[in-house]
Amino acid sequence: KISTIYPDGTTIVTGLKKAGKDIAAKTDGRVKLKVYPGGVMGDDRAVQRKIRIGQLQGQVAQGGAFADAYEDSQILNVPLAFNNYDEVDAVRAELDPVIKQGLEEGGWVTFGLIDGGFAYIMSDKPVKSITDLRDQKLWLPANDAASAQAAKAFELSPIMLNIGAVLTSLQTGAINAFAAPPVAALTLQWYSRVHYVTDMPLLYTFGLLGVQKRYFDRISPADQKVVREVLENTFDTLDAESRKENLSAFQAVQQQGLQIVKPDAEQLKEWKDYARRATNALVSEGQVSQAMLDRLNGILAKYREAH
């Protein structure tokens, strides 16, 4: 029994349901996968409580939701680490297995990452520099320590609201800027209340399915193998499909009338400086280890040299 906030009918939920059928068929019904879509089981924290008592066995969530089990799983979420998807792919080719291993040691069996796309700043007024952003009423999710910390490092004074209040607050002008992957901005209708999108990949996001190991271990080794096979294949497909959706969503928000703005070289440098500071803060707070950060930078340096 797994929970996800992705609504019924989305690629991910449909894919998971199909995987569930395959697994049931291949294990003669010994293993069943029941999906509770759309966040019916509550937010991430409520779901993790329910997993703890065994009402649920796993969840599909943003990578950050599993940071407690393995902190370096957040390495891909470092602000402004990537310039484009090719760099993401180069890093993921090497680090995906490491993250998987780390999470498994932390008690979560996972089956591969799903691309969540880059989060971009979308705003009422054009945002090219950090100063531009400071002049906007920026939304950040309430109860999210990581983004609160990032805001602090960027010297922003954001407005914290629950995700459910964002659309209304955008309508009323209580907030007028946010950072989100275009797919989210589209499905949640947020795009309709802003005019500009800053073409700068602020943050890479990804989702993953974690099944708690103590529940996974209850099924026989042979069945475990089947489950892993089916789900890993499913997630490979989902990852590729999500990437496609994320790329086309970036086009779609532009077609919906959002204008693209791009920071100039100097502004970009300022962004990167602050991002480095934010990253260092992550390291010093123990959110990401220095070793892992070095490894990320190593891969990126090597890739950038070759291309």
Which parts of this chain interact with another protein (CB under 8 A)? 5, 7-9, 36-43, 46, 49-50, 52-55, 68, 137, 142-143, 148, 157-162, 164-165, 167-169, 171-174
8 Å CB contact between 68 and 108? no
Distance from the first to the final alpha carbon of the chain: 44
Q: What are phi and psi of 50, to 5 degrees?
A: -70, -30
For another protein, the closer CB: 50 or 92? 50
For another protein, the closer CB: 26 or 195? 195
* SS3 assignment, position 259: strand
| Smallest distance from another protein to CB 37, Å | 7
For another protein, the closer CB: 5 or 91? 5
For another protein, the closer CB: 159 or 203? 159
Please give the distance of CA 167 from its chain centroid, rounded to a whole number: 20
Burial of 57 (0-12, 13-18, 19+ CB in 10 A): buried
| Smallest distance from another protein to CB 141, Å | 10
User: How many C-beta atoms surround the C-beta of residue 118 within 10 A?
Assistant: 23
| Smallest distance from another protein to CB 281, Å | 16
8 Å CB contact between 198 and 119? no
For another protein, the closer CB: 139 or 216? 139
Alpha-helical runs (H) found in 177-264: 182-187, 213-216, 221-255
8 Å CB contact between 79 and 201? no
Give the pairing of strands 58-62 and 196-212: antiparallel
Q: Name the one residue in this structure whose structure tokens are 């390291």.
A: 283
For another protein, the closer CB: 98 or 148? 148
| Smallest distance from another protein to CB 8, Å | 7
| Smallest distance from another protein to CB 248, Å | 22
| Smallest distance from another protein to CB 159, Å | 5
Distance CA 19, CA 125 (A): 44
For another protein, the closer CB: 156 or 300? 156
| Smallest distance from another protein to CB 282, Å | 17
